[in-house]
Chains A and B, each alone.
Chain A
Amino acid sequence: MLKIENLQASVDNKSILKGLNLNVKSGEVHAIMGPNGAGKSTLANIIAGKEEYDVTNGTMELNGEDISELSPEERAHNGVFLSFQYPVEIPGVSVTNFIKTSINETRKAKGLNDMPAKDMLKMIREKSELLEIDRKFLSRSLNEGFSGGEKKRNEIFQMAMLEPKLAILDETDSGLDIDALRIVANGVNKLKSKDNAVIVITHYQRLLDYIVPDFVHVLHDGKIVKTGDASLALELEAKGYDWIKEEISA
């Protein structure tokens, strides 16, 4: 699905990723953990195509196709979804209209006509139920005045509507209380299939109790320095990151 080799990137001439390798296959869940400033969110933004980063070296392929030159929207059309750590508030655009525009623009890119309104409504109904979203919420301005939990739930709702191949959840657990965490994680689990893949970026183990990863990677100083299974996350939770740093410098 996603194959990243020797990825190096910088912003304002400051090197952030320093030769990162990552291979994610269909049906897998990967967790990326690491201390603050390790480059986790940068990685997510670079996969999604944010322009302010300069990719100086390395390759990035999605299903065998080089995506490094594609615009963010083209990557989205190819099935990349990034759940934002801080979803943007857009006053004046309702959740419903935004997702409609989003779906129809994606269909347009694939040469399809707009989704019939009836099908759209049905889908919105189903997916909002899945995420236990109040209908009234759908007519509100996108993310405006939403609580942290509502914003994250809305991200996963959009993910459910767009059915991406590769979903990257950037700190989706931050700002969630335990009930919201359960709802969001359930949503993600229900959307998981053998044809898609999920990358979970998180500081903490607790989200991984619900979304169980096949692989856990530790990102430190722009590189993946350790990879393990779900037990690695538990170990990090118990021991922190310092032992890994020591292991590297040793």
Chain B
Amino acid sequence: MDLKEKIVSSYVAFEDGVNINSDIHEIRTEAFQNFEKLGFPSKKLEAWKYTSLNSILKEDYSIFPDKEKSITLAEVKKYFIHDIDTYKIVFIDGKYSSFLSETTHDNIDVCLMSSALSKKKYKLVIENYFNKIAKQDNLTSLNTAFSKEGAYIHIPKNTEVEKPIQIINFTTGEESATMLQPRNLIVADKNAHVQIIERHQSLTSNAALTNVVTEIFADRHSTVDLYKIQNDNIAASLVDNTFVEQQSNSVVSVHTFSFGGNITRNNLNFFQKGEHIDSILKGITIIEGKQHVDHHTLVHHIEPNCESHQDYKGIYDERSTGVFNGKVIVEKEAQKTNAYQKNNNILMNNKSTINAKPQLEIFADDVKCSHGCTIGQLDEQALFYMQQRGIPKKEAKALLMYAFANTVLESVKVPEVKERIMKLIATKLKVNIGFNI
């Protein structure tokens, strides 16, 4: 049985665990039909031309991992940002772990999607926001069909959340390959401010495939900063579908740090529904071996006087492959738009590959839009210069790569996150030097 068939035929079993007489389930079943019709994306689709999921769809995934493995904090502490106080929403094989979590209902709601989808208290928010901006494409539909658990974050107006929120999904998959469909909803009301760190981490050498959907709504004058740490082990693949809707004067930033995993696909979509909006999309990708990371971004400028800033840096070694497809649409009404897109890549090896494609569709005439895409190699003269000053070649390379990627780190607002990323980069580049530049 192929994976699609297996998923489709297990849907009735999934329905056993949810309330089928609800509006939510209407949404689910519609999405289910959609997925049944569309199936998994193939390379024939323009959006999937450079990313093939074939190799990972062959695995015999367990759709409902029910053997819940308990894990101790000591085992997984290193995956948390633990040197500061944070709220935590933690899942093990898709199930909530109250032991590892620290949620709250004190003014703000940092809790579970399963509660939000079933309890009356959240009905209005769910009605207003759930599945409102998620695309109806193959994988988002798949996630919606199985949407049941994930993080639910609602920050009421004029609230500044005093500590960051971590969302962590662990996969233990002791017995077999595991497939997960986490579903997150983040709502920041007027003038609300929140910082979120998202991580998917597999603790097994068995295959894991996570197909996550996150919807973010940023009301007027709100700020949402989302940091995605993608440093999973080599048997784990991730499809991250994130949709952001912004109202006037809001600022939303998404930083994606992709160092690990087997195949990683990021679909990051911004929709600007007001004026004076700033959307920030940044990423650092450092991969090797046969790793594959694909960034598909979309910024849809609908109203006038808005900005978007994209800055993606990639370093590819060995046979790794990267994709950057950055699409910017500026509607006719969206005059005075400033849209900037930068994508710089370094190929460390003549077997590594990057497919870069900036796509600008501009229908307004009074706008500033720029895009710059570069593909190069490390500067040999700079390496020699650094070696001449006693810095060994490996460290010199690392320092140059770090300096190359640094423009992305500059906008990280949580110092501990920045520190963690620096350490991950040093580990990834196998050097022991401080990058405190």
Contact = CB atoms under 8 A, between A and B. Distances in A.
Contacts of A162: 389-390
A162 B391 CA distance: 12
Interface in A70-104: 71-73, 75-77, 80-82, 84, 87-88, 90-94, 97-99, 101-103
Nearest to A45: B384
Contacts of A50: 384
B72 interface: no
B387 A72 contact: yes
A93 B403 contact: yes
A2 interface: no
A82 B436 CA distance: 26
A92 B406 contact: yes
Contacts of B400: 90, 93
Given A91-B403, A92-B404, A93-B403, A48 B388 contact: yes
A231 to B, nearest CB: 33
A71 B389 contact: no
Contacts of A102: 386, 389-391
Interface residues of A, number: 33
A158 interface: yes
- For A73, A75, A81, A158, the residue with the greatest tally of chain B CB atoms inside 10 Å of its CB is A73
A105 B437 contact: no
A51 B381 CA distance: 10
Contact of A90 (B380, B382, B407, B433): B382
Contacts of B324: none
A75 B388 CA distance: 8
Interface in B332-364: none
Nearest to A168: B388
Contacts of A128: none
Query: At the interface, is chain B mostly helix, strand, loop or mixed?
Result: helix
Contacts of A75: 388
B393 interface: yes
Given A73-B393, A105-B392, A92 B407 contact: yes
A97 B391 CA distance: 12
A101 B388 CA distance: 12
B363 to A, nearest CB: 35
B61 interface: no
A101 B387 contact: no
B385 A158 contact: no
Interface residues of B, number: 27
B17 to A, nearest CB: 50
Contact of B384 (A72, A93, A109, A158): A72
B393 A71 contact: yes
Interface in A152-195: 158, 162
A106 B402 CA distance: 20
A2 to B, nearest CB: 16
Contacts of A87: 385
Contacts of B380: 52
B402 A92 contact: yes
Contacts of B434: 97, 101
B390 A106 contact: yes
A73 B399 contact: no
A92 B403 contact: yes
A88 B387 contact: no
Contacts of A94: 437
A158 B390 CA distance: 11
Contact of B385 (A49, A88, A101): A88
B6 to A, nearest CB: 48
A98 B387 CA distance: 11
B395 interface: yes
B381 A88 contact: yes
A71 B387 contact: yes
Interface of A: 48-52, 71-73, 75-77, 80-82, 84, 87-88, 90-94, 97-99, 101-103, 105-106, 109, 158, 162
27 contacts: A48-B384, A49-B388, A50-B384, A71-B393, A72-B387, A73-B390, A73-B396, A76-B388, A76-B389, A77-B390, A84-B385, A84-B388, A92-B404, A93-B399, A93-B403, A97-B434, A97-B437, A101-B391, A101-B434, A102-B389, A102-B391, A103-B390, A105-B390, A105-B395, A158-B389, A162-B389, A162-B390
Given A73-B390, A101-B395, A105-B390, 17 more contacts: A48-B388, A71-B393, A72-B388, A73-B396, A75-B388, A76-B389, A81-B388, A88-B379, A88-B381, A88-B385, A92-B406, A93-B400, A101-B434, A102-B389, A105-B391, A109-B390, A109-B392
